[in-house]
Amino acid sequence: MAELPSNQNTSDEIDLGQLFQIIGRGFQKFFNFIGSIFKGLFHLLILLLLFIQKHFVILTIAVVVGGVSGYFLDNYLPERYISKMVVEPNFNSVQQLYNNIDFYNDLARAQDSVTLATALDITSKEAASIKKIFVDSYSDENQKIKLFDNFIKELDTTTIKTIDFENYLKNFNSLDARFHQISIISTDNRVAKKAQPAIISSISINDYFKRQKEINEENIALQDSIYMQQLVEIDSLQSLYKRVLEKEAEKPMQGTKINLAENGESQNKELALVQEREVIKEKLVELNEERANTSKILNVISDFPNRGVEQKGVWKSYKFLLPLVFLGLTIGILGLFGLGKYLKSYRK
């Protein structure tokens, strides 16, 4: 019986020793795996260097030819200009705006200058100068917060509890933004300004949006008349309270009796009317702002400039792009030849 503790300690030491061996083998396998990855990457790097060394002359010729070709293209092709306009669509007209811009862009890509000229009310030559038309949302975090605040105001209390700002941003798309930026890329720096009226009128002449605008104006006028009537009623009540207080003041005082309760109640009513008047004034201000913002189906926040801005930058230069294209094509062709040779030797 006295030998049990010694046997138990020996067994515990064996178990701990096996555990440390297992952990050590695990670390060894992990470091061997990391080492194999670095060895593989180093091997690929060496193969790439050997490939470049073997075909250095051909690759250099490809880069030089690409650079020379890009230089001539940059100097002989017409310059491209970009013009931007920021708009604010009303009455759910944003989808129609995107559809129209996509239609214009399809015509530009298809080089259908006749149809595009008719759609934009410009000449065929001016339409042929347009290379691309696109639209994207124009919003920052502050605008998204305001949109989220307006969104939850329309929901019931139960639904509001299930929606937070992060979930709203996940489902946010370009059509939800308040402002949108229309861009035109062309070789004529004045064509965007000439096409602006047609782009705006293509949305404004829509019968559905025109009817929505008319109904909105009627609702604003009705709400405005209600607020004005409320102000008239408040003025009448204030005049009434003033006359009552004047009549009370004209009565002869009987002894030293003063009804402080009635005076306090009158003052509270007057104060409530003053506060209500300020609230209605604020609502009128908001109503006037809404009237201004919805006076048009498509508000133009920033017009197209009279002249477009020349597109610049490394990524827009053929001197940079063509050498990369030629180099990539040359590497691909040489790689295919190398693969063909390897397959032949493998077959043998």
pLDDT of residue 190: 93
Does position 246 have pLDDT exceeding 60, yes or no? yes
Give the ranges where 138-206 is alpha helix by DSSP (H): 141-153, 157-161, 165-170, 191-204
pLDDT of residue 108: 95
What percent of the chain shows pLDDT beyond 70? 78
- Burial category of 265 from C-beta neighbours within 10 Å (exposed 0-12, middle 13-18, buried 19 and up): exposed
| C-beta atoms surrounding 209 within 10 Å | 19
The confidence band for 2, taking pLDDT boundaries of 50, 70 and 90, is very low
The answer for residues whose C-beta is within 8 angstroms of residue 64's C-beta and 6 or more apart is none
Q: How far is Cα 230 from Cα 224, in angstroms, rounded to an integer?
A: 10
Q: What is the mean pLDDT of residues 338-345?
A: 78
pLDDT tens track for 52-84: 888 888 889 988 988 888 888 877 778 889 999
Q: How far is Cα 300 from Cα 159, in angstroms, rounded to an integer?
A: 35
The confidence band for 5, taking pLDDT boundaries of 50, 70 and 90, is low
- Lowest average pLDDT, out of 172-186, 224-238, 263-277, 298-312, goes to 263-277
The answer for residues whose C-beta is within 8 angstroms of residue 306's C-beta and 6 or more apart is 190, 193
pLDDT tens track for 90-137: 998 999 999 999 999 999 999 999 999 999 999 999 999 999 999 998
Q: Residue 194: name the closest of 134, 126, 252, 293 by CA.
A: 126
Give, for 309, the enclosing helix (H) or strand (E): strand 309-310
pLDDT tens track for 137-153: 876 666 666 666 666 66
- Lowest average pLDDT, out of 33-42, 49-58, 237-246, 254-263, goes to 254-263
Does position 258 have pLDDT exceeding 60, yes or no? no
What does DSSP assign to residue 253? P
Instruction: Retrieve residue 123's tokens.
Output: 């000449």
Indicate the SS3 state at residue 82.
strand
Residue whose token pair is 């201000």: 285
Residue whose token pair is 């400039």: 305
pLDDT of residue 170: 65
> What is the chain's Cα-based Rg?
39
